[in-house]
Structure 1
Amino acid sequence: MQNITPIDLLSAAIRRERERLNLSVTELAKRAGIAKSTLSQLEAGSGNPSLETLWALAMALDVPVSRLISQPSRQVQVIRAHEGTVAVSEQGNYAATLLATCPPGAQRDIYRLRVQPGEAKLSRPHPPGTVEHVIISSGRARLGPADQPQVLSAGDYISYSADREHVFEALEPETTAVMLIEQG
């Protein structure tokens, strides 16, 4: 059995979804707001995309990020604390690990977040109707809609509309959380 790397999954998925929409590399790069050379490298199986690049591509392709980076499903799946497909923000203090996806037609992704204090992660609006659910596992964070963020501690839960700007900022080192994103 061949060991498929995360970049192999990403490369094949970007090409598959781009071809599904009959888009050229140039047109997809333009829609996503990324350099054509960056997209070409990703489709060639090289490069190390930031979380922002993954989100931009997913939005341009009208698919959840998980469709670009997830492995084929198995009956039983265990992801240990330091395993999984990790995407790191360009800011470097925010990393998201995809934990689970929904089958085709369903729109739910689950991520484990590990965030360090520093600059707040400001996210662009997701597609209309998107809702984020977050449970803080350890530490404290300020998160939610950019115009009304809340401070949460370990064990606290929040849900909010993510089809507007929203923010996540760790207030303590090694703040961790579980985020479920619903789209549809």
Structure 2
Amino acid sequence: MDLRERIAHALRHERESAGISVSELARRAGVSKATVSQLESGAGNPSVETLWALGDALGIPFATLVDERSTAPRLIRVGDHAGVPSAAAPYLATLLSAAAPGTRRDIYLIQADPGEPRRSLPHHPGTTEHVVLVSGEALIGPSEQPELLHPGDYLCYPGDAPHVFEAQVAGTSAVLISELR
């Protein structure tokens, strides 16, 4: 199943499970009804922000809409993911593990280089983010008071408030766990 089909199937399933109409989901997510209809038919090409807004409106993690479920062991080696940060894209997030059905936890590998900070709007109420900095140096956490992290540092902060990830040196990487309670 390709990504558009996975999104279409997951979005329709989650919306119907929530017992809401296409119109109501569009209203809650702040997107057009046509966008939701296109995505559910597999015809849309959504941005990450659109999918995140839909996930928040449904009370589900972003990854629920895009991750391919499998029971086989999953190994991701350093060179296997989407690439390395660049001037054009100084921040990359690779989904390592989506939450299993009935749970609310996603694990990401973050790679970033200095440049424009990655500013995130609040996620679903009750979201908490956990970060372990693997390499480099970064300002991470609540937008109004991020912490400077060094390799091995751990930070936990509310993901349901504006937050930021700003690499201070090239080759910065971190493991981020987003959980919803």
1:6-60 residue CA offsets vs partner (Å, 9 max, x unmatched): 2221121011111222333232122111233333332232444332222111110
Residue of structure 2 equivalent to 1:169: 166
**Does structure 2 conserve the Cα–Cα contact (< 8 Å) formed by 1:93 and 1:116?**
yes
Give the corresponding residue for 1:122: 119
For 1:181 and 1:101, locate their aligned partners in 2 and report how far apart those are by CA, in whole Å: 10
Q: Give the direction of change, closer, same or farther, for the CA distance of 1:85–1:29 in structure 2 (3 Å limit).
A: farther
**Length, aligned pairs only:** 177
Residue identity in the other structure for 1:52: E
TM-score, normalization by structure 2 = 0.83
- Code of the residue aligned with 2:149 in structure 1: it is L
> What is residue 182 of structure 1 aligned with on the other side?
179
2:14 paired with 1:17: yes
Kept in 2: contact 1:59–1:127 (CA 8 A): yes
Shift of the alpha carbon at 1:83?
A: 4.5
Query: What's the TM-score once normalised by structure 1's chain length?
Result: 0.82
Q: Provide the C-alpha distance between the structure 1 equivalents of 2:36 and 2:82, rounded to a whole number of angstroms.
A: 19
Moved more, 91-100 or 30-39: 91-100
CA shift in 2, pair 1:72/1:28, >3 Å: same
Runs of 4+ in 1 over 4 A off after TM superposition: 82-86
Look up the SS of the partner of 2:78 in the other structure: coil
For 2:76, give the aligned amino acid.
I
Task: Measure the CA separation in 1 of the matches of 2:21 and 2:47.
Answer: 22
Cα distance change of structure 1 residues 43 and 95 upon mapping to structure 2, 3 Å threshold: farther
Q: After the TM superposition, which residues 72-87 of structure 1 pair with which residues of structure 2 at under 5 Å, given as runs?
A: 72-83=69-80
Structure 2 runs not aligned, ≥5 long: none
* Percent of aligned pairs with the same amino acid: 46
Q: Name the residue aligned to 2:133.
A: 136
Q: CA RMSD in A?
A: 2.4
Work out the CA distance in 1 between the residues paired with 2:47 and 2:81: 16
**Separation (CA, whole Å) in 1 of partners of 2:28 and 2:140:** 28
Whether the 8 Å contact between 1:141 and 1:168 is mirrored in structure 2 is yes
Q: Work out which of the residue numbers 98, 106, 109 in structure 2 matches 1:112.
A: 109
Distance 1:150 1:14, change over 3 A: same
The runs of 5 or more residues in structure 1 that have no matched partner are: none
Quick check: 2:105–2:177 contact (8 Å CA) kept in 1? yes
SS in 1 for 2:140: strand
